Amino acid sequence: TKTAPLLDRRVSKSVAVRTDAEGMSNINLRFSVDVRTPIHFLPNNRLVVTALEGEEGRKRVLLRRADGETLEILEAEIGDPSIEVVTSTVVEKEHRGALEAIPGDVWLELALDGDAPIGSRTGKLHLSTNHPAAPSLEVSYAARVRPLIEPRPAGARLWPSPVVSGEGHSNILTLSLNRKGRFTVTGVTVSHPEIFSADVISNEPGPRQLLRVELIEGVGPDTITGTIQGWIEMTTDIPGYSSLAVPVLAAASREGTLRRFPTARRK
């Protein structure tokens, strides 16, 4: 069996054997192997870097050869232009948090750019090392950028319903500030004012704001053709924060709105 370079645990396998022996035509053989990784990632090899919109994010791990020899990272490549890979060799004993680094170790850091787009993505980090048992490594990573203001749900779904105040006719969206502080929504415009409207329920500063989105009076199944992909554009009193656009899906029936929302974006 072939094991991954970063595997560091007991692996069990089974083999099915078919024979011509009477009473033993099928035999299941099972064996276990203790696999030890040649390079340790401390505290673990879970590379997840997170950031808030407009801010940098960093994730640091310590790499150490299991045989005690000096580790060298010859090359580090990542396919995401918004993430920089930084490596630095430890030359004297040091402590960072709960980790103790010793000479011969290597710090590996993923630096997520402040201009990285909102959303989550995954990929592979490719490393070349001086370890004869692990000349190349492929490590999974994940990056997530949260919006400064996050709508919940991610958008509004509207369709004509028999009850004016019922599901489909109107939605309430919660706009949450993903950091400490308060804000207000200073302006709201919609992409299809003949189909739907949007109004802030409260103008008092707070960590959250409520937004009511509803169909215009008189809009019925015959008014909407296909699925309309619209937007609500909002401005806030947060300095330097341009308008936020939240998606709206409107259709003649609920089925027409059952598609994934595009990511809320800044204009």
- pTM to 2 decimal places: 0.74
Residue 264 pLDDT exceeds 80: no
Q: DSSP class of residue 260?
A: P
Taking alpha carbons only, the member of 14, 13, 20, 140 closest to residue 80 is 140
Residue 207 pLDDT exceeds 90: yes
| Percent above pLDDT 90 for the chain | 71
pLDDT in tens, 234-253: 999 998 887 889 999 999 99
DSSP 53-103: TTS-EEEEEEEEETTSPPP-EEEEEES-TTEEEEEEE--S-EEETTEEE-T
Lowest pLDDT segment from 21-35, 78-92, 177-191: 21-35
- Could you tell me the maximum CA-CA distance found in the chain, to the nearest angstrom? 84
Q: Say if residue 28 is exposed, middle or buried (CB neighbours under 10 Å; 0-12, 13-18, 19+).
A: exposed
| Percent above pLDDT 70 for the chain | 91
pLDDT in tens, 30-58: 867 666 789 999 999 899 999 999 899 99
pLDDT in tens, 93-148: 999 989 999 999 999 999 999 999 888 999 999 999 999 989 999 999 999 999 99
Residue 210 pLDDT exceeds 90: yes
Lowest pLDDT segment from 1-15, 150-164, 166-180, 198-212: 1-15
Relative to beta strand 156-158, strand 170-177 is: unpaired
pLDDT at position 7 is: 54
pLDDT at position 6 is: 59
Residue 196 pLDDT exceeds 80: yes
* pLDDT, the chain, mean: 89
